[in-house]
Amino acid sequence: MILSDTRILEEVEKGRIVIRPYRPECLGSNSYDVHLGPYISTYTDPALDARKANPIVETKMPKTGFALVPGQLYLGVTEEYTETHGFVPFLEGKSSVGRLGIDIHSTAGKGDEGFCNYWTLEMSVKVPVRIYPGMPIGQLIYFEISGKVRRGYDTKKDAKYRTVSQHPTASRMHLNFSRRSRK
């Protein structure tokens, strides 16, 4: 079941949903709007390797914007830090963003219960588009969980994206391979 605006606000007040900064005007009927943070990153190598840490270069976007071009993967980040305790958050692009041809995530639109961080965005575009820091970029939708969660993301020792950062985080897929080789 998707949480309504009333329920999201109740859970924010209880501290089970944390959004910083919280802006009341960003609360929709059944979602909360998030904004694009100031940093955008790209991988330095043209071919990525899932078994290796792929280096990125980060740019702080100027207020005049940053042009995204087709064929390039960009890692962005939300301006908002979030925590979710007892619910599953989904990040979806805003329709206005989609109508500009911007995809904000490739496959990582679901957060886990216990996720406490900024959201890294895997951005790509269909046509060249100029984006701006602070622009609305997506919306968080919260789902109720059926049953008890044994291990939230914030308590998993092997969770790869627990280090809190206001900067885009590159893929850590290579850690899966190193864990398997230790077994």
Q: Which residues are catalytic?
A: 122
Q: Which of 116, 39, 121, 35 is nearest to 79 (CA)?
A: 35
Element (H, E) at 175: helix 174-182
* 124 closest CA partner among 93, 91, 102: 102
Are 84 and 17 in contact by the 8 Å Cβ rule? The answer is yes
As a whole number of Å, the end-to-end CA separation of the chain is: 39
Write out the DSSP string of 109-127: -BPPTT-EEEEEEEEEESS
The two structure tokens encoding residue 148: 């008890």
- The alpha-carbon radius of gyration of the chain (Å, integer) is 17
CA 55 to chain centre: 19
Classified as helix, coil or strand, 13 is helix
